[in-house]
Amino acid sequence: MSEIRDTVILGSGCAGLTAAIYTARANLKPLVLEGHEPGGQLSITTLVENFPGWPDGIQGPELIENMKKQAVRFGAEFKMNHLVSVDLSVHPFRLKTGQGEISTRTLIIASGASARWLGLPSEQALIGHGVSSCATCDGFFFNGHDIAVVGGGDTAMEEALFLTRFATKVYLLHRRESFRASKVMMERVIAHPKIEIMTNTVVEEVLGVEEKSVRGLNIRNVKTGDKSVLPVTGFFLGIGHEPNAKMFHGQIDLDEDGYIRTNDNVLTRVPGVFACGDVQDRRYRQAITAAGTGCMAALEAEKYLEEHGH
Ligand code: NDP
């Protein structure tokens, strides 16, 4: 017999931890399955300066650790279990993990989205040291720098435009000739005096691993084969995000890019299953908005349990 929990939370980023704090304080003894990237995207950022309540900023990992401590203080339980499959067609819902089965009356999905990276070892080594996938989070640190953004969709355009507030120059690198970005964003980018567009350009290496600070990019023009060094000190990825929701395919509604569709902010089409944070939010993707929807999901779970006599 597997144990039956009132609430299981999938994911331990901002959304999941906020849901954990609220459900724990409601005495639901939530179980948080921490997932592949414990702490979520904040755990790989450096200084967070836009989370209200920290006038001098706070390191991303520390913010996450504080939230976790707060949830534990009220009785949330954390497990590193790896989730193998879920069955939402039965109630209580059934979760199969590497360490056994768990049944739960409510499920809060806060499994987040992972930024896509190019996958270069030098890029990975310099995340947080000049390489970032979030202009809103890290742009401020690049005041007076020359920066490159890679990507050809709206995220890249938005990042490039945002970064012009700080950078002296923004190079927008795209691997093809034509762009996916919407016309209006594209026009703004083309018209911006600080942005230089480089098409048919791929990044082969980020320079500065030894120095632990970006000092340039090895780039190649895929049409001409020409190789050169782009002397930038910041490198932003704008090549999209992958919502971590594949496991729910066919059980709840996902949109065309795999994000969980929700009504009234956090309700999925299965009563008792709620989604919050970046796995259902392709628009704002901020720590504070993830925390906000995590709170909503917790309140909805509490309401659901109460209405069903638990
Ligand atoms: P997209 O999938 O639209 O674009 C990703 C871009 O990254 C593409 O140009 C793609 O190139 C490029 N890319 C992907 N992988 C690589 C790689 N390995 N190397 C180099 N380039 C790569 O993702 P977005 O995040 O830009 O947008 C997702 C959705 O969110 C869209 O619907 C968009 O409109 C929306 N959005 C809207 C915003 C707004 O309205 N303000 C802001 C941000 C996003 P290629 O074209 O060659 O495939």
Cα 308 to chain centroid distance, Å, stands at 33
Q: How far is CA 46 from CA 139, 146, 307, in A?
A: 12, 20, 42
Round to whole Å and give the CA distance between 224 and 253.
44
Q: How far is CA 231 from CA 114, 175, 210, 217, 223, in A?
A: 28, 18, 16, 7, 21
Please tell me the predicted confidence (pLDDT) of residue 244: 95
Burial call 177-207: b when 16+ CB within 10 Å, e when fewer: eebebeeebbebbeebebbebebebbbebbb
- Range 13-17 average pLDDT: 98
pLDDT at residue 2 greater than cutoff 80: no
pLDDT at residue 301 greater than cutoff 80: yes
Please tell me the predicted confidence (pLDDT) of residue 115: 86
Q: What is the pTM of this model?
A: 0.77
Q: How far is CA 209 from CA 121, 127, 141, in A?
A: 9, 10, 19
Round to whole Å and give the CA distance between 193 and 135.
19
**Per-domain residue ranges for the chain?**
3-114+241-307, 117-237
| Active-site choice (134, 276, 281, 295) | 134
pLDDT at residue 44 greater than cutoff 80: no
pLDDT at residue 1 greater than cutoff 80: no
- Range 185-206 average pLDDT: 98
| Active-site choice (6, 138, 146, 278) | 138
Nearest to 141 by CA among 13, 31, 46: 46
pLDDT at residue 127 greater than cutoff 90: yes
With a 6 A CB cut-off, is 129 part of the ligand 1 pocket? no
pLDDT at residue 217 greater than cutoff 70: yes
Instruction: For ligand 1, pick from 134, 197, 239 the residue to mutate: most ligand atoms within 8 Å of CB.
Output: 239
Please tell me the predicted confidence (pLDDT) of residue 48: 85
pLDDT at residue 239 greater than cutoff 90: yes
pLDDT level of residue 82 (50, 70, 90 thresholds):
confident
**Residue 223 CB burial class (10 angstroms; 0-12, 13-18, ≥19):** exposed
* Residue tagged 């990044």 (tokens): 203
CA of 239 to the centre of ligand 1 (A): 5
Q: How far is CA 45 from CA 40, 48, 112, 204, in A?
A: 10, 8, 15, 23
pLDDT in tens, 84-98: 999 999 999 999 998
pLDDT level of residue 304 (50, 70, 90 thresholds):
very high
Can you tell me whether residue 44 is helix, strand or coil? helix
Give the fold, CATH level 3, of 3-114+241-307: FAD/NAD(P)-binding domain (3.50.50)
Per the structure block, which two tokens stand in for 310?
């638990």
**Which residue type occupies 275?**
A
Higher pLDDT, 162 or 44: 162
Q: Which of 32-36, 276-280, 294-298 has the lowest mean pLDDT?
A: 32-36
Tally Cβ neighbours within 10 Å of residue 72.
15
- Active site (annotated) includes residue 276: no
Give the fold, CATH level 3, of 117-237: FAD/NAD(P)-binding domain (3.50.50)
Please tell me the predicted confidence (pLDDT) of residue 46: 73
- At 4, phi and psi to the nearest 5? -110, 120
pLDDT at residue 15 greater than cutoff 80: yes
With a 6 A CB cut-off, is 243 part of the ligand 1 pocket? no
Average pLDDT over the chain, rounded to an integer:
95
pLDDT at residue 234 greater than cutoff 70: yes
Provide the β-strand partners of residue 202.
220
With a 6 A CB cut-off, is 239 part of the ligand 1 pocket? yes
Same fold, 3-114+241-307 and 117-237: yes
In the chain, % helix, strand, coil (3-state, to 5) comes to: 30, 30, 40
- Range 178-205 average pLDDT: 97
